[in-house]
Amino acid sequence: MLATTTAFFTDFRPDPDTPWAFAAGRAFERELEVVVGAQAARTTGLALGDTIFVTHGVPRATAIAGEGAASIEPHVHTEFAFKVVGLLAPTASSHDRALFINLDSSWILHAHDRRLAEDPRAGVTTVADLSDADRLITGAYLRVLTRPGQSVSAVLPQVFRTLRDDPSLTVASPTDQIRQLFSIVSNIDQLFVAMAGVVMISSAIAIMLALYNSMEQRRRQIAVLRVLGCSRARVFGLIVTESALLGAGGTVLGVAIALLGGLLVAGVLKQRLGLVVQPMLPLDATLLVVVATIALAALAGVVPALMAYRTPVARNLRPIG
């Protein structure tokens, strides 16, 4: 089986003190061997012994840059066939979506591009062809070890200061960067929430107007119900219930559209950017929106219900024509 992928980490393990848990196979032991995360294996269908080619670049980059932009095709390294030697057990982390190779394999890929630029007739690159300039580590994840009872947050500032004293290093905390990102987009989130509130209120007004106008054509029906023994309170409750059911139907439809839209956008992001997003609706927030929407729709039905409540029976039972 041949497959092409753009997502992989190199020489990285989830926990240096805990060995990988393998669902099948083993860890890589030499160049051009790859270990596949659980979700990546499930998504791509990769199995032990399969062969893949890794790539540089983002497929369909023109869709990101816009029409008229220069086409940027991914560079598929067909010169190097990686063999799947291990499948990791699920970890419920980003490691499940990753492919792992050793550092020498990564350096070989970049060194091969360099050698071809220098000499188009250069042969296949091996470890022996690597220079000191090729053996670069451009990024590393660090874990802070603490003593029992010591908080990591209390140690981090000192660790950052020590690392930043080295001008050759660029130090960043993923937690701080994510927090800063959310602070930047928080205003956009508030704007979306405000827009959603306006839509809900305008929808409630639309329900109220629709039911109010329908009461003019349903006065005779309401009068017949009254004659058959339906009390005014019962008529009032029927109209409010009808309004609430309209709101419930709209809520179910809205949640379904949100989920389908999220799945569609996630598929586009995965195809064009290689970015894996799992759309989901938080249960507590979804229930809150559903209850609020139904309550607002029921409230919108109060005015038409009052109109039905006050419908005179004798006047609306007169013969028509």
CA-wise closest residue to 60 among 41, 75, 43, 73 = 73
Let me know how long the chain is: 321
Neighbours of 300 (CB within 10 A): 26
**Residue 179 has what pLDDT?**
82
Task: Indicate if 103 and 153 belong to the same structural domain.
Answer: no
- Give the Å distances, CA to CA, from 179 to 19, 81, 156, 169, 175: 31, 40, 16, 22, 6
Within 8 A by CB and 6+ apart from 38, the residues are 23, 87, 88, 89, 90, 91, 96
**Which segments of the chain have a pLDDT < 50?**
1-9, 11, 16, 60-65, 69
Task: Indicate if 73 and 203 belong to the same structural domain.
Answer: no
How many separate domains does the chain show? 3
- CA dist 316 and 218 (Å) reads 10
- CA dist 272 and 59 (Å) reads 6
C-alpha of 299 from chain center: 34
**Residue 7 has what pLDDT?**
46
Within 8 A by CB and 6+ apart from 281, the residues are 255, 258, 259
Residue 45 three-state SS? coil
**Residue 320 has what pLDDT?**
57
Dihedrals phi, psi of 68, to nearest 5 degrees:
90, -10
Q: Is residue 268 part of a domain?
A: yes
CA-wise closest residue to 205 among 159, 174, 252, 246 = 246
C-alpha of 214 from chain center: 42
Last-in-domain residue among 122, 140, 158: 140
| Residues of the domain holding 239 | 176-316
Do 250 and 297 touch, CB atoms closer than 8 A? yes
Q: Is residue 321 part of a domain?
A: no
Q: Which pTM does this prediction carry?
A: 0.55
Q: Is residue 58 part of a domain?
A: yes
